A and B are shown apart, each in its own frame.
Chain A
């Protein structure tokens, strides 16, 4: 109920958009060509890369939007591409969704596509986003936005270079409860905030797997293009488990329990504390398997502590965060009807703070809609390349701290570890040919 009430601008926008779409186009797309810029009255032509389980959720949020037309999907796994086609064709009542298997061919050929939904496995997120933006597409990519610091820099550079709009799927940045907490912090209602706490996934470890699953016979390339599936990652023999989501936990493909939820919660905390354009400067090693209770420090003096337990004394649910200041605290995670607060009176302004945020920023409480609006307005969305690169750098640095088993210091201006050449070696990984950027 609350969500609806604080979402008036979105409803109004959609209503108007629908009205424009039924009116004759003032500026026909054919005059301007496509995929460079979408005028307010035009539909956004959308394509997909690597849409699987999670991507299907994103797709189902995008398809009902009145100004979206999904036309093609690309995946090295035929079965996944066909599943997406079925969803799209069912939605539109036709057979028009086109399937591609080669990302490079897809991007080069479909100049009519304005934006792409990238929901591959983690290993491909940054790579596909960079290729797509270089091809002139705007990008909505699932999290995490990068596997390394260098990949994140590549996303930021490419988006700027081609003035592309990019949003990562850290959807809590567009949810009322989380927005309220950020606004409480921004407005100083918690006093001087000294500590924030960020959930990391309560399964898996920070230490990653380097083993190979047993080799299985390679399927025909038209069923699974294994070389393309691996993309820029080191080669390894085919095993079908990887292609069914079993890639998690492997160093080449995943960013550990810290990245699994930290991609959400670190971004949340950094946006909240006004540190979205930087990364933590200190990382204290903790002698456990996950990074639980690791203290990181930002240049503004705020500590961010990693919390692993699902239900602890600070918060519950999943992907939770908590901000602690001299005048109170707030905490929220998935499943909260309202944020937990140190004083119930803090919630009196809940609606106002969330509404004011929307009016001030022009951002709706819908992550997908924020992206689509920005495709038209050309402003950067809430989970833009800088926010995601900087928060993922904090994730990467926390992982590196755990892997090296020592404290680390990071210079967020130079984007390198201080006096630690070995830590700096982790900032990039050579990409496998020909999948280089």
Chain B
């Protein structure tokens, strides 16, 4: 006796270690089964320890765990965990003990066991479960209905069919659930006729609606091709629920005959139903629906027409293209817009061809529409036609075509565009050509290789053309381009020199710095002076510059600045310079009311970058900056920088 007690205590001790391990280790070793059994049988083990033991047995339990677990089924606190372990043990002996427990338990433990019997699909439990369908406890009766459904054999189905005739409310819903499960099993096991009979019973019920609708689906799909007449019948139903069930079912059916059933149903439907059929046709994607959709798109209620147009790209068939093209000219702007949207997305060469035909129209509006669609469809093969359109007499078409060349073209179009540009005179044409030329240059691997071609044209171009070409040079960049711009800045023609200086002022790289500094210092024109100074300050943002070079630019600029606008610009540039001197320069403005937010922002941004290298200086700056600004975002970031700096300073 004493030896036995010691043995149990030893096991419990071992298990406590094991249980503790369960907190961190999901799977116990298979050799732990005896220990786990000992825990669930022990009167000394806690509830938690027994729960954990059941968890373990759910993963490693074998035949020898069954009896100890079954002993817990009547325990309301542990019944669930016993099933938790038992459900996963494949041994048929589990079915026997659960079946046996069905006759002994009451209340929630019984409900749980019924559930487990269903999960394990124990066919031998059908008789007992059938009796439970009329249990006075509704929860038991409902669980039994579902479990019978999970078992799903013919006997279970018959029991549920009998019960269906006399039940109501939630019990009826659960009997229906059981019957659905039976029908699904019947289909899976080749008992198709039985499934059809079940679905037919359910679909003819007056309620619940979800059962009727679900059964319509099952009844049609299970009949396969023979389900088509039933589909047609429900497409004529006055009930929107059954009608929508038919439409939804059609989504799961392939074949032109289904499409025909849907399109035939379109006649004389109320708008809501018509829309639902059209949505269904679109989603099914059968091109055979296009004629019916075209008819619906062509006339009638506007909301239906629009839905029909939107369905076209979902089908994506070329036969929709002429219809959509015609609808582009519809008097109703919502219809024509919907057609445009559809044409933009409908795939394929035929749609491309229809749009190219529109481009060859003699009227301006269709051609502009074609150009819009060419862009949206990204029809890169259209570029030669676009260049041709860009040479034409219609200014609107020319400019839209040039815009598309910029979007869709490649550097291969450079020469053609350059040639066009130097033929244009109007500002609108030149702007369009300049934009297109800039866009294709930006796509080049080596844009500088185009510089000489542009500079060659500069000599013979008109002032307006030169101005445009100089702006293209600013996109290309590089030494040769900069030299050409410098030269143009000294041009005797004011329009050219003005354009060149504007280009200089927006130059992106620091090789223009000496030019801009000189202009900012020496120009007699105040506006030009300001533009140069602003351009010069912006150069400090060039990411390729060293910190010292950036600082140098900021120093030079600071000496020239007089207005708050440029001070703000400088503070923005300083925020990108990770240097103590930049911090000092920013903090010099922290007391100036008009710009203290910008100064604080710059100080915080610099502080973020140098907090670890210069913690003490950053702490001092942040404390001042936080006092100076009420900006929430800057304050939040400033506090983070302050903390970072304090940490770096060991505070």
Q: Give the B-binding residues of A (Cβ under 8 A).
A: 8-9, 12, 16, 19-20, 26-27, 31-33, 35-37, 39-42, 108, 133-136, 157, 160-164, 207-212, 234-236, 251, 345, 348-349, 351-352, 355-356, 358-362, 376-379, 403-405, 421-422, 425-426, 428-434, 436-437
Contacts and interface: CB of A to CB of B under 8 A. Distances in A.
B276 A40 contact: yes
Interface residues of B, number: 85
Contacts of B276: 39-40, 376-378
A258 to B, nearest CB: 13
A134 B247 contact: no
Contacts, number: 204
14 contacts: A9-B310, A12-B306, A36-B209, A37-B241, A135-B173, A236-B51, A345-B443, A359-B342, A360-B345, A377-B279, A378-B276, A378-B280, A379-B248, A432-B80
Given A12-B338, A39-B276, A433 B310 contact: no
B170 A108 contact: yes
B79 interface: yes
A70 to B, nearest CB: 21
Nearest to A20: B303
Contacts of A108: 170
B208 to A, nearest CB: 6
A162 B240 contact: no
Given A27-B272, A234-B84, A360-B316, A355 B344 contact: yes
B141 to A, nearest CB: 12
Nearest to B337: A12
Contact of A378 (B109, B247, B310, B344): B247
A208 B111 CA distance: 29
Contacts of A434: 108, 111-112, 139, 143
A12 B283 CA distance: 19
B112 A433 contact: yes
Given A9-B341, A379-B279, A430-B83, A33 B26 contact: no
Contact of A436 (B81, B112, B344, B376): B112
B341 A234 contact: no
A395 to B, nearest CB: 15
Given A136-B208, A207-B26, A436-B112, 14 more contacts: A36-B210, A134-B210, A163-B214, A208-B26, A234-B80, A358-B345, A377-B276, A378-B247, A403-B26, A425-B59, A433-B80, A433-B108, A434-B143, A437-B146
Contact of B272 (A40, A134, A162): A40
A78 to B, nearest CB: 24
Contacts of B271: 26, 40-41
Contacts of B245: 37, 163
A362 B282 contact: yes
A359 B313 contact: yes
B366 interface: no
Contacts of B313: 356, 359-360
B22 A210 contact: yes
User: Which residue, A36, A134, A236, A429, has most C-beta atoms of chain B within 10 A?
Assistant: A36
B155 interface: no
B87 A428 contact: yes
B378 A235 contact: no
B214 to A, nearest CB: 4
Q: Which of A236, A356, A436 has the most CB of B within 10 A?
A: A436
Given A33-B241, A39-B240, A16 B303 contact: yes
A39 B272 contact: yes
Nearest to B304: A40
B217 A163 contact: yes
Contacts of A235: 51, 77, 80
A360 B342 CA distance: 9
Contacts of B114: 436
A234 B81 contact: yes
B394 to A, nearest CB: 26
Contacts of B55: 210, 234
A436 B345 contact: no
Interface in B52-76: 52, 55, 58-60
Contacts of B273: 27, 39
Contacts of A12: 306, 338, 341
B538 to A, nearest CB: 22
B474 interface: no
A208 B114 CA distance: 29
Nearest to B114: A436
A362 B241 contact: no
B643 interface: no
Interface string B139-155: 10001001000000000
A32 B239 contact: yes
A19 B303 CA distance: 9
B119 interface: yes
Contacts of B84: 234, 429-430
Interface string B292-316: 0000000000010010001101101
B122 interface: no
A147 to B, nearest CB: 13
A5 to B, nearest CB: 10
A236 B48 CA distance: 8
Interface string B356-399: 00000000000000000000111000000000000000000000
Given A210-B23, A352-B376, A378-B251, A157 B347 contact: no
Contacts of A26: 270-272
B244 A37 contact: yes
Nearest 8 CB-CB pairings of A with B: A359-B345, A433-B112, A136-B210, A36-B209, A436-B115, A37-B244, A39-B272, A36-B241
A8 B341 contact: yes
Contacts of B86: 430
A37 B283 contact: no
B244 A378 contact: yes
B344 A430 contact: no
A208 B26 CA distance: 7
A39 B84 CA distance: 44
B597 interface: no
Nearest to A17: B303
A27 B275 contact: no
A37 B84 CA distance: 38
Interface string B247-281: 11101000000000000000000111101100110
Contacts of A378: 244, 247-248, 251, 276, 279-280
A291 B249 CA distance: 41
B22 A433 contact: no
Contacts of A161: 177, 180, 184, 214, 218
Contacts of B22: 210
B572 interface: no
Contacts of B180: 161
A260 to B, nearest CB: 17
A37 B311 CA distance: 21
A13 to B, nearest CB: 9
Contacts of A37: 213, 240-241, 243-245
Contacts of A157: 184
Interface string B191-222: 00000000000000000111101100110000
Nearest to A15: B334
